[in-house]
Amino acid sequence: MVSAEPRAAGDRHTPVMLRRCMELLTEHLSSDDADAVLIDATLGMGGHTEALLEAHPAATVIGIDRDPQAHRIAGRRLARFGDRFQPVRAVYDSLPRIAEELSPNQQIKGILFDLGVSSLQLDEADRGFAYSYDAPLDMRMNAAEDSEDPTAAELLAEISEDELRRILRAYGEERFAGRIARRIIEQRNVQGLTTTKQLADVVDSAVPAAAKRTGGHPAKRTFQAVRIAVNQELDVLEAALPAACDAVALGGRVAVLSYHSLEDRLTKQAFAQRTTSSAPVGLPVELEEHKPTFRSLTRGAETPAAEETATNPRAASAKLRAAEKIRLTARSTA
């Protein structure tokens, strides 16, 4: 398949909940705030970053992404902003180091996470993320030549049945994890698994016919689980969320767009630790060190309007949470 990369980024991807993300991340900023640094921790094709740079002509945006293809596309899209856009090829759990290196004397006023697999990765057949294409079973978000990350095919070639069952249950919430894991190992031992079609067909053969009548493609949860395992997505997120909360300045904000319950659960827990008092139950007076350091900006998780999901189906599962730092502690970097 010919790469779609030459197409304009704006034609290929519509940023999810863009207006609400902009509001939450920047309503506390003045238009001429020259010290403002914002971090797009999941740059992708640069849609959210472009909107931030356009709305705040004095601000700088650091764009983090592990995918070199995303950097090529976003770099062309954002070249007109000069050094106000600072790209960094890295995984976003490196956020504290990146912030210290690129903005040691400036305050980080907002951090955005737009989680999960990007439109770019899904649309490029040879990246191996989608069960709708027959392609090499890759699924790496960092698929550069210098990447040492194992591909999905390499992971499935080595994994034990017990560990695969655990991954399918934990990361895919797959109720037929045992059947699917057993069938994958059988297929691997007979013929190997090297393409997305082979994996999708194996999963399809393992899922009972009655269970395939609803819920979409039977391989959906397996592909999600394997992708998360290949890229260590939840481990990275679990480390990155508290790091972002520590890095943001007083009055700064952290916003997270998630697309499945595992990501949203980690986000909810990370924010809850900062927005609730740590005082022991029954303590008559709340001491300063027990007071919340953040306040929630969303009531629970916000979801896209029906109009948005109608025009952008990939927004359908999105959940948005955001919080603002209201108090500094000794561990705060700001």
Strand residue runs (E) in 156-309: 253-258, 294-296
CA distance 143 to 71: 12
Distance, in Å, from the CA atom of 160 to the CA atom of 206, rounded to the nearest integer, reads 18
Q: Are 99 and 244 in contact (CB under 8 A)?
A: no
Radius of gyration of the chain (CA): 21
Burial bucket for residue 253 (CB in 10 Å: 0-12, 13-18, 19+)? buried
The 10s digit of each residue's pLDDT in 192-234 is 899 999 999 999 999 999 888 887 889 999 999 999 999 999 9
Chain-centroid distance, C-alpha 273: 20
* CA-closest candidate to residue 286, choices 275, 277, 274, 296: 277
What's residue 279's pLDDT? 66
d(CA 248, CA 98) in angstroms, rounded, equals 13
Which pair of tokens denotes residue 202?
């194996």
Query: In angstroms, what CA-CA distances link 175 with 56, 218, 222, 263?
Result: 47, 11, 10, 19
More confident residue, 33 or 309: 309
Dist. CA 334–CA 329, nearest whole Å: 9
Task: Please give the C-alpha separations between residue 11 and each of 5, 41, 187, 239, 305, in angstroms, as whole numbers.
Answer: 11, 22, 40, 33, 21
Give the C-alpha separation, 158 to 163, whole Å. Answer: 10
- pLDDT at residue 187 above 70? yes
How many Cα neighbours within 13 Å face the side chain of 139? Answer: 28
Band of residue 3 on the pLDDT scale cut at 50, 70, 90: very low
- Which residue matches tokens 């249950």? 169
Range name among 126-140, 150-164, 165-179 with the lowest pLDDT average: 126-140
The answer to whether 279 and 290 have CB atoms below 8 angstroms apart is yes
Full-model pTM = 0.88
Annotate 283-305 with three-state secondary structure. Answer: CCCCCHHHCCCEEECCCCCECCC
Q: Which pLDDT band holds residue 334 (cuts at 50, 70, 90)?
A: very low
CB 95 within 8 A of CB 242: no
Confidence category of residue 58, pLDDT binned at 50, 70, 90: confident
User: What's the distance, CA 328 to chain centroid?
Assistant: 26
